[in-house]
Every structure is written in structure tokens, then in C-alpha cells.
Amino acid sequence: MAWLAVRLAISVSLLFTASAVFEDQVGKFDWRQQFIGKVRFALFDTHSQASKKLLVATDKNVFASLNSRTGDLFWRHLDKTGPDGQVDSLLMYGQDAVVVVGNGRLLRSWETTVGGLKWETVLDTGSFQAAALVGVQDFVKYVAVLKKTAISLHDLSTGGQIWVENLPDSDTVQYQSIYSEGNGLVFVLGLVPNSHVVIVEYKIEDGEIMNKKSIQAAWMSSLESSCAVISSGILLCVDQITQSLYTLPLQSVEQKEMKQIHLQTLDLEVASGFQPVLTSTQPNPAQPPLAEFFLQLSPDHHILLQLEDGLIALLKDFNPSNLVAFATTGEKTVAAVMSPKNETACSINLFSADTGRRHLDTNIIYHLDPNGGKPNTLYVHAFLKKDDSVAYRVMVQTEDHMLTFLQQPGRVVWMREEALADVVTMEMVDLPLTGTQAELEGEFGKKADGLFSMVIKRLSSQIILLQTWLAHLWKLFYDARKPRSSVKNDEITIENLSRDEFNLQKMMVMVTASGKLFGIDSKSGTILWSHYLENIQPNSAFKLMVQRTTAHFPHPPQCTLLIKDKDTGLASLHVFNPIFGKKSHSSVPALPRPILQTLLLPIIDQDYAKVLLIIDDQYKVTAFPSTKNILQQLQDTASSIFFYLVDSSQGKLSGFRLRKDLSTELIWEAVIPTEVQKIVAVKGKRANEHVHSQGRVMGDRSVLYKYLNPNLLAVVTESTDTHPERSFVGIFLIDGVTGRIVHEAVQRKAKGPVHFVHSENWVVYVYWNSKFRRNEFSVLELFEGAELYNSTVFSSLDRPRPPQVLQQSYIFPAGISTLEATLTEKGITSRHLLVGMPSGSILSLPKLFLDPRRPEMVSEQTREENLIPYAPEMPIRTEWFINYNQTVSRIRGIHTAPSGLESTCLVVAYGLDIYQTRVFPSKQFDVLKDDYDYVLISSVLFGLFFATMISKRLAEVKLLNRAWR
């Protein structure tokens, strides 16, 4: 009987929590975008003319193939994160792409059409220096990999190692590059900095050293940055100090030193402080490189030169020119040069490499995005047209990791915003009302000024409404007359952006690590605006705050991004309108000192902007905005404004109170010794969280009140001792105002990484159990008990009794990358936990399963309360995966936001990919289902109506007849 009850209870509870997407709902309210990261290597497939493949390897350790016509992914391979999966080199020959991965750990060959792995070879240890394809008699057969101490040659078709040889004197000589030109020899070039160059010749067949020589080059400090091999094995180097070029034939036996050619003889000069760069091209690895090369003299000055018979001839001077690149198609090699045209555009032109002559009709105009970064790399895809002339497409990469693919005569074929592969933080902002709605709102917002004017105002706004409605009808009529194909889809642009009925469509403001901000429409995923912040340090921390929401018409919404340099602690503010992305004109306070903490207060000024307090390292407070009104309000409420600081390096937690003069005083201090444990994370509750019910109704109809302390902080520590038996994870619940430690628990034999959610009256955390080697969930719930101390208002200063703490733990049979809780408008809907997994799926786990009151033994009362009996293992049901097959690779964070519908919570998961969806933790109780049968219900209704009418009539007739009788 008890068992039956258990099963019944489980099945009943599941009835209420099961939620899944039906097949016909796929893509209806969710979307996913896949990214690759900042491109480090890109190669066009020149194997055949019709090929659309573009192979890229990125800083996110992604190796992918893009469709060069659309920019979509053909396939994508993700390697390990960190240096273990880093792509060191990408080479392509025919259908094969050879990749060196993980600092020379692995050599892989990929089939480029479908992205299948052809072979993989584990290389000997040693740090990677260079890799090159090696050809013999016009055919590329091998790939050579140069490590710090050895060189190895591998067969291109099987990956088998042909030979491996130790490099001579590798402890003193830095070997940096490989060169071969299909004559049966491989040259390894090494350098003893500021002393001499070493050239070693290897025979391809067996790796025998044919020749080894060293050439004096006292001026040279790096081979890679200042040298290139051109024209049948001539090493060409450039030196900034002596302002000269040096040449040396690699194979010559008699020449014992490099031949110096002064740049002055060519009437050239290197810009002071600029390291000149040589760019050469070797179209076929089995053939010697071309005799032409580019010399970059300053950031915007390139020169095309030619080496012939030991003499250097100037072919063309490109001044100014930002970027240059060689490309080869068939027998022709061309050079693409990007030069600035005016303030907002650059022009790209094609020049023939051997003469420096410009090709006609090859001009592409590249428009610079004023909100984007400067272009920094050019990838050219040249191809032959039918009349044998050379045409090209070009991919431009900018500082903000954006890829733009252009076609002649300047048409943008596609763009990819690769900065979105590294989203740091985000917010969801309500969209503004439409003009007419705003007009109505404005009417209510204004102060009453006489009956007559109010009537006029009301009438005028009604007329405007009528007008828009008529316009809408006209448009519908007009569109209906047009053929279907010509009716454009409702494209979302920044102009027609407006809030929908249920506020389901929002603006996603995303901040990326590169310093580029995006405004993305949450319904379609369209990027509506972007803004690149220049001069962002790569290790900056970002904090995004919504100071004013969209609700305060006519004041525009306002977001503030705090950018903090982690090294110096110095910060700056970027204030912008989240709907349009425009920078606000409001004066931003100067922050000359490193900052410690920021605080967004509910105090608002006349413009309805919340005040932001910024605390610097001298505990001085800066208010933004700092109008007189704000300062007055701050003075009045100073004694009730508290903030806390956490110094994890010293384990110190301290609390401060604001004084009237905006200085602060220390009021409490707690120190968790760093010898034993280290603070890894501190989390408060979300400010926009609503809790609907104050307590829980128990089985016996009494109420267990929740301990809802808005100032509670959850502090998580990890032990410094990492031994699996002694390591532990500490959980401290600390009141942020009084510094009172409300609860202190230690999870023994546990270690991080700890993910946790702090919300309502509970904390859920996940840790790794080092004894049983598994992930475990633990939930802490805080209750005040059967009666509330002070039911009207919560004050941390007046809450003497500590709460009751209940805790329970569960096994979670899967890995966890991130954790977040759903959030709804009023907090009535039951909560779910969203668990991001390393596999890329997102699990929506009902909070019901994480309830410390789950009983060991079922009783009448627990059944009454709908508690699920305790089971140590957390179930994972496939229908709980909210993103079905749309996995989010390397998921790093989940953002939840309430919508206008109480049942619906908006979810955005970001990592390498971005996925947006909606979840309905208690199902859609406040909206009709998608497949609701309107026809049936209305026909039944009308049928009943007419039946009543007819029967009424019949009854009347009958009555009349009876009366006559």
C-alpha cells in the first residue's frame, strides 16, 4: 500500500512538472546561433573553382568549415579548451587540411568536404615551432613539423612518420622555420639571437643532414618576424636599425655572409619605432616562392618589391595602404591591397603580383562600421573568370572579431559577429511602447490641467489611435492584393521595434569579452545594434546594470556598463541606451581611483534613473547620477544604506555604512582564514525577484514561514587542502547588513568547482564528491518557523532569532557547467533549476525535487503536502531537456528574465553558441494552447445560441397554441 502511494505521489508530481517541446513547436519560440570565435587561420579551398569551402581555425580551439556564399557552418569541430586544444598551424592541400594541435601534441588530417578525420598522429613531446608542406617533383607528399629540438616528416596520405631527427645544437640555437621548394631538401632555419643564423639542410628521403652552416647576423633578434624566403631559396631579412634588407641564398656554399642592401638606395625609409614586416607568397609548396614580396614600412604603408638577380626593384608603392594579401589562382598570383578612401570607407584593389599593375574593374568598397573596429586582416579568394581574367572575393576581419565577406563591386555577402562567441554578461530590457501607446501613456502620466484640455487630449489621442488602425487596415488590404511572393516578411528593424502583448519579446543586451556590445532581438536573434568599445584591456571585468527601465516614458531607458581593469582596478563607465545602443550624453563621473564595489540603489532622481554608488579603494563613495536631488535623498537615507566588501585574497568580509557626507564607516568584519579555505564566490539575491508566498502550508494546515532576508549573502569557500579525504566546501550564509553568520555548513570530502543559485529562501549548490567521484546537489532552505517575527517588514537589524535551516543532498548523475533558476513576473509559478551540462544540453529540473523536506517515510501529512519521497539520486528525464537537439557548446552562463506572462520565463544560454527559448515551469496556465480549437468552441457556442433561439421560438409557439386550445 505504501509503495503504491509512493508511486502515486511520484506520478502525480510528474503530471504537474512534465514539460517538453512538441515536434511542431520546434523553432517556434526558440533559436540558436553558432559561433566559432576569433579567426586565427583561414584558408579558401582553391582546389576547384566551384568550391564554397572556407576553412577556419580560431582562438576558441574550433576548426570549422564555412560556406563562403552564405557564411553558414558546414561543419565545426571543437577541441579541448585551453592550450591543450589550441590550433598551432593549419595547412591545406587538395581535399586535405592538416592541423597541428596542442603545442605540437597532435597532427591531424581532415577531409574538408564532410569534416571527417582521415588520420591522427601523436607527435613526440616538444614545443611546436613551425609546420610546412613538403613537395617532391611538383607533388606534395609530406608534411614537416619543426619542434624545439627535433624535426619530423610525415606522409600526407597516411600520417605515418617517415623520419624524425634531432636538431643539432638545439640548446643554443632557436629553430624557427622550415622551408622547402620541391628539390628534395628541407631547410631548417634557426637563430642564435644577435649572433648568427643557422641553416640545416635535410634530405627528404631519409632525414640525413646534407649541409649545415652558420651565417653572421648580429643584428637579428627574431627570424620569424623579420625574415621570409623568396625566389628560389633566397632568405630575405629586414632590419629596422640599419634600415636595410639582407639577402642570402640558402643553398650557396661560397657566400659566408648576408648581402646588405640599404633601403636608402631604393628611396625608402622605415617609420621610426616600427618593426618592418615582409610578406612573401609560395603558391605551391612544391615550387619555389615568387620573387615578389611586400615590405611594410609603417602601419599604413606597403611596398611591392621584386628581387631579381640579387637586385631589388620597386614595383609599386602603396601609400597609404592598411592591409595587403597575396592570392593565387591557376598560374596567376595577385595582390589585394586595402587602402583608405575616406573617413568611412576603404577601397580594395587587385594588382598583378609580377608587374604591380592594377587589374581593371576590381575595386571593392568596404564601408567601415562607425560602431565597429578597424580591419586587421584580409583573406583573399581569387578565381578565374570565363574570360581568364582574375576576379576575387575578400573576407575582412576587424578588431572586434567580425568577419565580413565582400564580393565585387562591394556587396556584402555575409557577416559574422564572432565576438558573440565570448559573451561575458547580459541583461534583457523591455522594448519601448509604440508611438501611439506611448501617447496614451503620456496622457496618464501628465498632470491634470483642467477638464476641457483633458477632454481635448483624450479625443486627440483617440483620433490618433483610429488613424493608426485605419492605416493598419489599409496596409493589410494593400498587401493582400499584391502577389504573395512580393510581400516581404516582417523584418525586424530598430524602427518598428515595439513591445508585444505579453512582453515576450525583449532586447538582449550582450557584453562580450572583446569589448563589443550587442543589442539582439530576443524573438528572432537579429542583431539590431552593436557598439565596439575601443581600448578595452583583454582582462577586463564587466558589470552591466539597468539604471532606468523602459517604463519611464518619455525618458529613454538607460544601461550602464562598468568596465574594470583587473590589474589596476581602475574603472570606467559606459552609459548607453539599450534599445538603440547609442551612447548617452549624460556626464559620467571620473573614477581616478581603483574601485572595489558598486551598488545600484532603488533611490531614483527626477529622471527616474536609479542611483549607482561606486566605492573606491579609500572607501569613498561616488554617486552617479549625482544631482542635487539624489545627494539630498542619499543624505536622508544614509544611515540605512549598507554595503559589503569581500577581499578573497585575505578572506576578509567587511560591512560598511554610508555617512551623510558620502564617506563610509566600517561596522562589521569577519575573516575566514585563507590558510584553511579560500572564498571562491559570493552571491546575493537577484533584485528583480518576487516571492509570492510567505510560507509553505504543511500537511496539518499550519504554515511554515520562509526566512526571506533580502540582504542574505551566500559565500562559498573551497579548502586549500586538496587531498580527496580532507578537502571540503564551505557554505556561509551571512547577513550583508549586520555581518551576522546566519548559517555555516561544511560539505566534507567535496571540492569545486561549485555552482550555486541563491534565491527566495533557498540555496542550491553543486559540488564534486571526491570520495565517490560524482556530482552532488545540495539544497539549503531557511525557515522562520511557525510564526513570523515581524510580518510587515523585514529588517536585518531586528531579527534576533536565527532561522531554522534544513538541508538535503542528492546525487546528480551528470556533469554540470552552469546553474540558474527560472524567474517569473510575480513568483507564483513554481521554480525550476536550469542546469547547463558539458554536453550542451540544458536540463530544466523542478525545484520540487530539491526540497530538504522530502520525507524518508511517506505519511499522510507529507502526501497532503505533495512532497516527493526522498530518493538519493536525482532523476534526469529526456523531456526535461529544454533545448532538444539544439546543444549549446561550451555553455558558460544562463540568463533568465521574466516576461509579461506569469507562466513564462525567458531563457538565454550562452557559451560558444547562443540559445534563446521560453520555459513554462508550471505549464502555460495563463494562455490558451497553440493548437487550441477555436473553430470547435465557437461552432459549439453558436450552435447552442441558435438552438436556444429556435427552441425559445418553438416554445412560444407551443404556448400560444396551448392558450388557443
Query: Least distance (Å) from other proteins to the CB of residue 585?
Result: 40
Candidates 141, 136, 145; CA nearest to 156 is 141
Residue with cell 512532497: 867
Q: Is 683 exposed, middle or buried (0-12, 13-18, 19+ CB in 10 A)?
A: middle
Nearer to other proteins among residue 16 and residue 794 (C-beta) = 794
Angle subtended by helix axes 435-445 and 451-481, to nearest 10:
170
Query: Least distance (Å) from other proteins to the CB of residue 694?
Result: 20
Nearer to other proteins among residue 343 and residue 798 (C-beta) = 798
Query: Least distance (Å) from other proteins to the CB of residue 797?
Result: 6
Is residue 73 within 8 A of residue 889, CB to CB? The reply is: no
Nearer to other proteins among residue 106 and residue 806 (C-beta) = 806
Instruction: At 148, list the grid cell.
Output: 624545439
Query: Least distance (Å) from other proteins to the CB of residue 638?
Result: 12
Query: Least distance (Å) from other proteins to the CB of residue 872?
Result: 4
Which residues fall within 8 angstroms of residue 416, CB to CB, at 6 or more apart? 35, 36, 66, 71, 402, 403
Nearer to other proteins among residue 253 and residue 857 (C-beta) = 857
Nearer to other proteins among residue 3 and residue 477 (C-beta) = 3
In DSSP terms, 670 is beta-bridged to 653
Nearer to other proteins among residue 263 and residue 716 (C-beta) = 716
Nearer to other proteins among residue 546 and residue 672 (C-beta) = 672
Query: For the chain, how big is the Rg over CA atoms in Å?
Result: 35
Q: Rounded distance, CA 494 to CA 37, Å?
A: 26
Which of 358-365's residues contact partners 24+ apart within 8 Å by CB, and which partners?
359/334, 359/389, 359/390, 361/408, 361/409, 362/390, 362/391, 362/392, 362/408, 363/408, 363/409, 363/410, 364/394, 364/406, 364/407, 364/408, 364/409, 364/410, 365/341, 365/409, 365/410
CA 753 to chain centre: 21
Query: Least distance (Å) from other proteins to the CB of residue 375?
Result: 54
Query: Least distance (Å) from other proteins to the CB of residue 921?
Result: 24
Query: Least distance (Å) from other proteins to the CB of residue 17?
Result: 21
In DSSP terms, 751 is beta-bridged to 768
Alpha helices in 666-727 (DSSP H): none
Nearer to other proteins among residue 149 and residue 804 (C-beta) = 804
Nearer to other proteins among residue 577 and residue 775 (C-beta) = 775
Give percent helix, percent strand, percent coil of the chain, each to the nearest 5: 15, 45, 40
Query: Least distance (Å) from other proteins to the CB of residue 676?
Result: 5
- Identify the sign of the CA torsion 743, 749, 755, 760: negative
Q: Rounded distance, CA 302 to CA 284, Å?
A: 24
Nearer to other proteins among residue 95 and residue 796 (C-beta) = 796
Nearer to other proteins among residue 175 and residue 765 (C-beta) = 765
Instruction: At 453, list the grid cell.
Output: 484640455
Is residue 131 within 8 A of residue 99, CB to CB? The reply is: no
Question: What values do phi and psi take at 867, rounded to 5?
Answer: -90, 135
> What distances in angstroms separate CA 658 from CA 460, 664, 887, one per listed residue?
49, 5, 47
Is residue 414 within 8 A of residue 422, CB to CB? The reply is: no
Nearer to other proteins among residue 785 and residue 827 (C-beta) = 785
Query: Least distance (Å) from other proteins to the CB of residue 749?
Result: 8
- Provide DSSP, 2-54: HHHHHHHHHHHHHHHH-----GGGTTTS-EEE----SEEEEEE--SSTT--EE
Using alpha carbons only, give the angle 544, 549, 552 rounded to the nearest 5 degrees.
155
Question: What values do phi and psi take at 103, rounded to 5?
Answer: 50, 50
Nearer to other proteins among residue 442 and residue 753 (C-beta) = 753
Nearer to other proteins among residue 602 and residue 872 (C-beta) = 872
Query: Least distance (Å) from other proteins to the CB of residue 770?
Result: 12
**Letter string b/e over residues 62-92, b meaning 16 or more CB atoms within 10 A of that residue's CB:** bbbbbebeebebbebbbbeeeeebbbbbbbb
Nearer to other proteins among residue 614 and residue 779 (C-beta) = 779
Which residues fall within 8 angstroms of residue 733, CB to CB, at 6 or more apart? 712, 713, 714, 715, 741, 742, 743, 744, 763, 780, 782, 805
Element spanning 734, H or E: strand 728-735
Q: Rounded distance, CA 757 to CA 10, Å?
A: 25
Contacting positions for other proteins (CB under 8 A): 2-3, 639, 665-673, 676-677, 728, 730-731, 734, 738-741, 743-748, 769, 776, 778, 790, 797-800, 807-811, 856-857, 870-873
Nearer to other proteins among residue 583 and residue 774 (C-beta) = 774
Residue with cell 639571437: 193
Using alpha carbons only, give the angle 38, 42, 48 rounded to the nearest 5 degrees.
150
User: Which amino acid makes up residue 508?
Assistant: M
- Identify the sign of the CA torsion 236, 239, 245, 248: negative
Instruction: At 917, list the grid cell.
Output: 527559448
Nearer to other proteins among residue 584 and residue 796 (C-beta) = 796
Nearer to other proteins among residue 279 and residue 674 (C-beta) = 674
For the chain, the distance separating the N- and C-terminal CA atoms, rounded to the nearest angstrom, is: 68
Which of 96-102's residues contact partners 24+ apart within 8 Å by CB, and which partners?
96/156, 97/43, 97/55, 97/63, 98/131, 98/133, 98/143, 98/156, 99/57, 99/63, 100/128, 100/131, 100/145
